[in-house]
Structure formats: C-alpha cells, structure tokens
Structure 1
Amino acid sequence: MIIFKYADQLARYIQQQKAAQKQIGFVPTMGALHNGHIALIDRSKQDTAVTVCSIFVNPTQFNNATDYQLYPNTIEPDIMKLEAAGCDALFLPSIAEMYPQGTAGLEHYDLGYLETLLEGKFRPGHFQGVCQVMFRLLTMVQPHKLFMGQKDYQQCMVVSRLLQLMQSATELITCPTLREPDGLAMSSRNMRLSLHDRQIATTIYKCLTTIKQECNKGITWPVIKEKAEQLLTGAGFIIDYVELADATTLQPAHATMATIYQGPRVALIAAFLHEVRLIDNILV
C-alpha cells in the first residue's frame, strides 16, 4: 500500500492508474477503522481495480469542539488493517493540505431541506462541513465509484446531492451497515463507550427492530414512537430523535396508521449515552 500525504502526489498516481484503464474505488474515512470500514474496502476491491482510502478527521463537520478533540486517533493500527485488507493507496492529508486557505469563510452548498431535518436539525452546519471535505476529496481522488456505509443514511443522501451539484460522474455505492453479534452498529465512536455503556448501547438496535415489527403489524406511529422513546430513556439515553421517514426523501412517512404509507421507509434514531452520540437506522 502506498501512503500519500499530498494531493499532487496522489493525483499523479491516480492519473497513472487511469492511463492503464483501471477503475478507481474510493473509501473516505476519519480513521479509527473497524470491520465496517474494511467491508467497504472489500466491496471496492470487488468492484474496481484500484482502491484508495482516505483518513482525515475533518474539523469543519464537528459542532462540538470537545467531540473533535476526543475523536479516536488510531493511525498505526489503521494502516495495518488497510494493508491486511489489500488497500492500494492511503491518502493521509494534514488540515493545511485540505484547507490551505484555512477554515473560515468557506463555500456554502445548496442542500435544500436535507439540512433542516434529523441530523441537519440537530447538528447545524455539520453537512456543510461534510460537503466541504467531500468536495475536496472527490476533486483530488476523481474516483469512478465511491463507497459509503448505510449507517450514515442521511450523510449518504447529502453526498449524493453533492455529486449532483458537482455534476460528477462518480457513482455512489451505499453498502449495508455492519453490526456486532449483539446488533450494535459498528462505529468509531463505540471506542469511547465504557464496558457498561457498550452493553446498554444495544438498546438502539432493539428499538429499531421493535419499530420495524410494529410498523409491519399496522400499529399507529405515535404508539410505536412512545414505546421506543421509553425504552431509550429508561436505559439512560438522552434522545435527539426517533423518526420514521420516507427512505428516498427523508420526509416524515407516518400517517395516522403506519400501514397507510405505502412507500419504502426508514426508521432512524440519534441519542446520547452520556457524552457519546450514537446514530443508527433500519429499513422498514
């Protein structure tokens, strides 16, 4: 695996691979890699000839400075995992390489209503930060295919919107969420959970599976939502949202009876367990 710290060196490598008629797959990460990330590398290796991964903890997408400072940094084990997975190239830029003009007065991206609900509502400015770093990474890597995980459901929709705004030919491939044996969605933030909280964290997945089962039974959404919220608060969570949304637009997707809404739906949860914020979703 070749490690690049500078965009111009990476660009030369990408140009060489494309000149050899090789398709480029790209997996952007913030490090603290787990098997969910490695599954994205595996999928890229299946679908493309050259797999590029990036590790960059992007300061512009954190609402909370403490959250940014506490984000896990495990670069040596990350490199070993990528090498073992057969990743071809790792882009490991500095903040100065990604934001040479600094992080003030950055461009604004027209994300429409996606910025006003769910993650957009509870983390104002977060998706602008995501777009700022993804615009830069996509411009530098110029991949044929981009691989992201379904756990960050709304972020995948935002990146899809960004690709439209960029008029990019890159194809976004959204891959299923990988879970621990007890159902907890794999996440870099899980590293920050105590052993006790790690066990409690599975409550989110239990709530999602309950929501799915009860929606399929035709139980009314207010009843389902109240039950899920009681489960979460009873376990010690502070809830940002428990919602049922249209799977393609993220607009609310619950009528008086759950069965009245006929389109594909997704149930989404975001909640704090002490200082660690966890998100997850399930298709209904």
Structure 2
Amino acid sequence: MQLYTLKSQVEISIEKAINFKKTIGLVPTMGSLHDGHLSLLKKAVRSCDVVWVTIFVNPTQFNNKQDLNNYPKNIKKDLKMISKISKKINVFSPEISEMYESKLETEDFDFQNLDNELEGKYRNNHFKGVGTIVNKLFNLFKPNKAFFGEKDFQQTRIIDILIKIKKFQTELIICPTIREKNGLALSSRNGLLSSENKKKAAIIYKTLIYCKENISEFSFQKIYDNCKKEINSLSDFKLEYLEIVNNESLKKEKKFNLNKSYRIFICVLVKGVRLIDNILVK
C-alpha cells in the first residue's frame, strides 16, 4: 500500500498503469471507513489490476458548516483497514488546497433536475459539490471502473449522468448496502450516534420494510403519515423525508402500479446526525 498526497504523484502512477494497459479501479470516499467501504474495495481488488481509494472530505458538498466540522476523521485507522485488504491498493489523501487550488469553486452541471430532489431538496448545492469533486477525480485517475454504494443511490444516478456529460470511459459499479445486525445501513455518521440512538436507529430500515410490504395495500400518503408518527415519537428522532419514487426516473409517485419498479428513500435526523437509506421495490 502506498499513500499519495499530491496530484502530480498520482499522474505519474496513472500514466504508467495506462501504458501497461492496466485496469484502473477507483473507490472515492470521505474516510472514516467501515465495512461498507471495505466491500467496495474488495470488489475493486477482485476486478481491477490497480486500485485507488481516495480519502478526502469534500467541503463543497456540505451545505452546513457544522456538519462538515463534525464529519468523523481517522486517517490512521483508515490506512490500517486498507492495508489488511490488499497490498495493491493505493491511497490518495490530499489537502483541500490540492483539490481546490485558489478557492472553493463548484462547476455547474445539468443533472436534469435530479440534484433538486430528495437529498438535493434539503442540501442546497450538495450535488453540485459531488459532481465537481467526482469530475476532478475521474479526470485525475481516468478509472476504467468506479465503485459506489447503493446506500447513496441518488448519488450514483447523478454520477451516471456526469459520466455521460463528460464522456468518461468509466463503468459505474453499484455495490449492495452493508448493514448492521439491526438493519441500520453502515455509514461514517453512525459513529456520531450514542449507543442508545444507534439501537433505536433500527427503525429506519424497519420503516423501509414496512413501506415495501404495504405499498400495494395503503395509499402512499397513509404510509407516510404512519411512518412519520412512529419515527417522530422517538426522542432525538425527526423524519426529514420519506418518498416513494419511480426507480428509473426517481420522480415521486402518488399511487402503486403493479407494472412499475419503485425505490423508497428515507432521511432521518438523529439529534442532528443525518442518516439516509433506500430500498428497491420490484
């Protein structure tokens, strides 16, 4: 395992890999790694000759300064976890000034209004920041394959559009969500929860299962009302959104149609900690 902090170092290594016709895999992360990230890395190692993982807390995708400041960081622990997977993994962990040379500017992209739905509705310019940093990383690493988790499904759709806009020769690999025993989706933010709230957060996945099981029985509004009442009854818990959308367009649906596939998205604030999840309904 090698650790790089400068783009110039990465460029030399990537040029060599391309010259030797190596398959390059990229796993972008913001660090504070967990088993979900490790599952992406393991898949990348199995399917690529050269694997890069980035550890960079991207400031432009945070609309809340406190959220940015509170985001967990533990680079020593991250490197230890990575080293146990494979020696062929390279790590890129730059300073902010390396990725944003003069000031924190974002690029405008036409994400077909998807950046204003779900997470984008509540996190102003979030996906503009995501698009900006992923664009920078794809230009730097020129990956043949990029690995992302299904937990951030809306983000994967945004990146898929970005790939088409920029004509990147990159295959987007979406890997299944890894969960705690109680169903809670693994997230770096889980470490900010108290042990009691982490147990109670099992309600997030239970809510998705409830929605999936009742989607053809009740109106979407009734499902929403029932779930909101249940979640908001817990101390420290607040439902930010729960939406049933078309799995292809991610547009909000109002009633069930047997011939369609749906995806249910949820966001719950637990004492200010933002937890998201989603589930597919075929």
| TM-score, reference length from structure 1 | 0.95
Contact 2:151 2:276 in 1 (8 A): yes
1:204-255 CA-to-partner distances (Å, cap 9, x unmatched) read 001001111112x432212211111112111232222111011111101232
Q: Secondary structure at the match of 1:112?
A: coil
TM superposition shift of 1:128:
0.4
Matches within 5 A, 1:103-252: 103-104=104-105, 106-215=106-215, 217-236=216-235, 237-252=237-252
Q: Name the counterpart of 2:93.
A: 92
Would the aligned equivalents of 2:107 and 2:131 in 1 still touch at CA under 8 Å? Answer: no
Kept in 2, the 8 Å contact 1:115–1:124? The answer is: no
The one-letter amino acid of 2:139's match is T
The 1-side partners of 2:51 and 2:173 are apart by 14
Mapping 1:6-155, distance limit 5 Å: 6-86=6-86, 87-104=88-105, 106-155=106-155
Q: Take 2:15 and 2:89, find their aligned partners in 1: how far apart are those partners?
A: 14
Between the aligned partners of 2:107 and 2:116, the Cα distance in structure 1 is 18
Q: Which ranges in structure 1 are unaligned for 5 or more consecutive residues?
A: none
Q: What is the CA–CA distance in structure 1 between the aligned matches of 2:96 and 2:14, rounded to whole Å?
A: 21
- In terms of mean alpha carbon deviation, does 171-180 or 106-115 score higher? 106-115
| Distance apart, 1:17 and its partner CA | 1.6
> Is the CA contact (8 Å cut-off) linking 1:61 and 1:127 kept in structure 2?
yes
Gaps of 5+ in 2: none
1:203–1:235 CA contact under 8 A, matched in 2: no
CA distance in 2, matches of 1:107, 1:182: 39
Q: 1:279 aligns with which of 267, 276, 279?
A: 276
Counterpart Cα distance in 2 of 1:57 and 1:204: 25
State the match for 1:265 in structure 2.
262
Structure 1 segments of 4 or more deviating over 3 A?
none
Bigger drift between 230-239 and 125-134 goes to 230-239
Q: Report sequence identity in percent.
A: 35
Q: Is the 8 A contact 1:253 1:261 kept in 2?
A: no
Shift of 1:59: 0.5
For 1:231, what is the secondary structure of its paired residue? helix
What is the letter of the counterpart of residue 180 of structure 2?
A: E
Name the SS for the 2:267 alignment partner: strand
Q: Residue deviations 1:30-76, cap 9 Å, x none?
A: 00000000000011111111110000000000011011011101100
How far is the alpha carbon of 1:261 from its aligned partner?
5.1
Q: Which amino acid in structure 1 is aligned with residue 197 of structure 2? A: D
| Contact 1:254–1:261 under 8 Å retained in 2 | no
Question: Aligned letter for 2:108?
Answer: H
TM-score (norm 2): 0.96
Number of equivalent positions: 279
CA distance in 1, matches of 2:234, 2:204: 10
RMSD of the TM alignment (CA)? 1.2
Deviations 1:261-281 (A, max 9, x none): 522110110120111011001
